[in-house]
Structure 1
């Protein structure tokens, strides 16, 4: 079993630079998680008798952390990117949210964070688990999450469900301009993790799993969809460099040819995979 778990690990030597240049675009162009996702997560700490303390790993600029803080949670938001954390602090200030503590750390340091601040009622990882050494992170969370607590892996798109219809067009453009559709920032290839998130959770201490899936729709203008590409490690300004302007002009032409009205809509299904320890009660 140990050998199988170790084979699923993902490690990047430049983890802090993967999302270089993505901080401000992330705040501007990434959509919030569907309300049904936030509602479901808020039920996970309903048993807590105090203001719940939630650890958000791979928080980015706080896309999920700030929404959960507005639902009454006290958040420790963790990321390896100083740029993302700076964007998060500014965004929290703009939204008058004070219940978030921002920490520059790797997700595998969750146990050390709990020793510093106390055990957490739960941990969330939103659209970031695939970047992490998942077994090592879950082992650390076993020491960071209190008895009865949870780990929730959130994805804007449930495994095995359709991507946005424009995704193949974007892949072809990235191949044209970068020579690869799968980059992890300016200088590193993306490492495809072995095994699904649910499978990895079931191998961990948090092996009692439940899953929420919820349908929703996303709509973008042409400018928003072009801007959204700046939030991804594989098409960020840092990754494209001096090719960014030409790439975005090509993208505009391609998208406008398909949808001249400038409205781009996709039907998606989000997922929340919640893991708890088998012996715990929630």
Structure 2
């Protein structure tokens, strides 16, 4: 994970981007690999009362994966710009949280403040969302609120736009035929190229000791599920199509069904976790 998959922005409103798509996000976005969840849990095994701060939580995929792997988790803070996402995350956690308490914070990650004292996070996670954030400010906030030996985990695995396969290449071409050659990003802009790496961001922060962990994985997509996933992306969400989204989805479904040939569409990806600590933190 050397560079963000999309441009950073400290001002993008997640309500504007993904408010209407919260249900699709919960249904179609892939979750964390089990191995990644166990890696995160392992960083907390010597912590008496682990506290999770999940930045850009979306529909709560990180805490949902972590709770079974780390049953001693005592508190979770969920942070997102999108109120609908936070409602979905809280609802998803309610039947599985047990005695673990949950607070929500609606706002930009770098403006987070704990709802109550004595809950300094021992694990701060950010999955598939760091590219949207004011990253130096987020890491400064993490340093301000985190426990002395806290771990920061920046995670991601690219997207179907960046995945290289015959079917994803054809799908990109179809999207471009509707929206133009430049990849869309944010509420109205385009992708202007990669910025500095996450590793550089971390090197300039208090959490400068970094280890990288890579987990290869394979996913099988039904054509209809790819359409659901696309609705949750900044490069193919429905609002971008100016009334032509129904036509696009019909064309995309035909294309994906042709490539699937009555079977599924294969994606081989790598889920990358950067674990960062303050110098002298536990390995």
Identify the TM-score tier after normalising by the shorter chain: 0.7 to 0.9
Residue correspondence of structure 1 range 157-172 to structure 2 within 5 A = 157=158, 163-165=163-165, 166-172=167-173
Aligned position for 1:68: 66
Name the stretch that deviates more: 236-245 or 130-139. Answer: 236-245
The change in CA–CA distance for 1:218 and 1:153 in structure 2 (over 3 A counts) is same
Q: Is the 8 A contact 1:155 1:270 kept in 2?
A: yes
- Asked whether the equivalents of residues 26 and 228 of structure 1 are also in contact (C-alpha less than 8 Å), the reply is yes
Mark the runs of 5 or more structure 2 residues left unpaired by the alignment.
1-6
- From 107, 110, 124, the equivalent of 2:109 is 107
Query: What residue in structure 1 maps to residue 209 of structure 2?
Result: 208
Contact 1:54/1:123, CA 8 A, preserved across alignment: yes
Distance 1:117 1:177 in 2: 51
CA RMSD, Structure 1 to Structure 2 (Å):
2.3
The answer for the alignment partner of 2:133 in structure 1 is 132
Residue in structure 1 matched with residue 269 of structure 2 by the alignment = 268
Question: Aligned pair in 2 of structure 1 residues 13, 96: CA closer, same or farther (>3 Å)?
Answer: closer
2:118 and 2:55 mapped to 1: Cα distance?
Answer: 15
Q: Is the Cα contact below 8 Å between 2:38 and 2:66 reproduced in 1?
A: no
Q: Secondary structure at the match of 1:113?
A: coil
Separation (CA, whole Å) in 2 of partners of 1:274 and 1:82: 28
SS of the equivalent of 2:185 reads coil
Partner of 2:90: 89
Q: In the superposition, relative to structure 1, how do residues 116 and 192 fare at CA in structure 2: closer, same or farther (>3 Å)?
A: farther
Say which is worse superposed, 124-133 or 237-246, in terms of deviation.
237-246
1:217 shift after superposition: 0.6
Aligned to 2:4: none
Given the two structures, how large is their TM-score scaled by the length of structure 1? 0.86
**Cα distance between partner residues in 1 of 2:17 and 2:118:** 28
**Distance in 1 of aligned mates of 2:84 and 2:118:** 23
Matched position secondary structure for 1:142 = helix
Deviation at 1:191, TM superposition (A): 5.8
1:140-151 map, 5 Å: 140-151=141-152
Q: Is the 8 A contact 1:130 1:193 kept in 2?
A: no
**1:69 and 1:180, CA in 2 relative to 1: closer, same or farther beyond 3 A?**
farther
**Which position in structure 1 is the counterpart of 2:13?**
14
Change (3 A) 1:97 1:136: same
CA distance, structure 2, for counterparts of residue 193 and residue 107 of structure 1: 21
Match of 1:5 in 2: none
TM-superposed CA distance for 1:125, in Å, is: 0.2
Q: Name 2:23's counterpart in structure 1.
A: 24
Moved beyond 6 Å, runs of 4+ = none
Asked whether the equivalents of residues 206 and 275 of structure 1 are also in contact (C-alpha less than 8 Å), the reply is: yes
Show the counterpart of 1:236: 237
Q: Distance in 2 between matches of 1:186 and 1:133?
A: 16
How many Å separate the matches in 1 of 2:267 and 2:241? 26
For residue 32 of structure 2, give the secondary structure of its aligned residue in structure 1: coil
What SS does the corresponding residue of 1:18 show, helix, strand or coil? helix
Name the residue aligned to 1:4.
none
**Count of residues paired in the alignment:** 269
Is the 2:58–2:86 Cα contact (8 Å) retained in structure 1?
A: yes
Distance 1:53 1:79 in 2: 17
Moved more, 61-70 or 74-83: 61-70
The question of whether the paired residues in 1 share the 8 Å contact of 2:171 and 2:255 is answered with no
CA–CA distance in 2 between the matches of 1:192 and 1:117?
41
Segments of structure 1 that go 5 or more residues without pairing to the other structure are: 1-7
